[in-house]
Amino acid sequence: MLLKVRRRPGSNCEGLLAAGPLVLRCALGKGGVSSRKREGDGATPLGRMRVLGGFCRTDGLVARRSPLRLTPIRAELGWCDAPADRNYNRPVDLPYGASCEKMRRADHLYDICLVLDWNIAPRNRNRGSAIFMHLARPGYLPTEGCVALSPRDMARLLPLLTSASVVEVTR
């Protein structure tokens, strides 16, 4: 399935995600959409990214069915965002010596977190890390470069996604 993401007219940080006839509101990066994505710029990368699989909470807060492979989020799961580290833009076990994100978050944004194949293979230092599709903050506040959906819309979208799904971000 092709998921087309574009900015909402008049907004740099909100978007619309179209999946066939389904059109969903989404949050985009605080840096807008960029063809020159760099680590820490807050931009959502312009282009096509496959949905590689993802992570989900299984502790009673969130448990969703999907054709995608969703790995349970363990308390010690992190994602390295340190460009100089050998595990840059990869999952790591916490505690970890370099900068990384904690995947089991208190704000529950990653209760369902789909990994997009931005800068995965090959990985280039400073090209951006942790580009996910995850749950949105109330009011669709901007992300750090990800695409974020409401929990209700994520639940509607998950059953439609497979390992062949592609997210295409345009302006």
Mean pLDDT confidence for 130-148: 98
What pLDDT sits at residue 110? 97
Q: Give pLDDT tens digits for 63-91.
A: 567 889 999 999 999 999 999 999 999 99
- Region 147-154: mean pLDDT is 96
Extract long-range pairs of 79-83: CB within 8 Å, 24+ residues apart: 79/103, 79/129, 79/130, 80/129, 81/39, 81/129, 81/130, 83/39, 83/125, 83/126, 83/129
- Residue 109 vs residues 58, 98, 146, 169: alpha-carbon distances, Å: 14, 22, 11, 20
Residue 146, amino acid? C
Q: DSSP state, 143?
A: B
For 2-169, CATH gives 2.40.440
Condensed to tens digits (0 to 9), the pLDDT of residues 32-70 reads 999 999 999 999 999 999 999 999 998 754 556 788 999
Average pLDDT over residues 81-103: 98
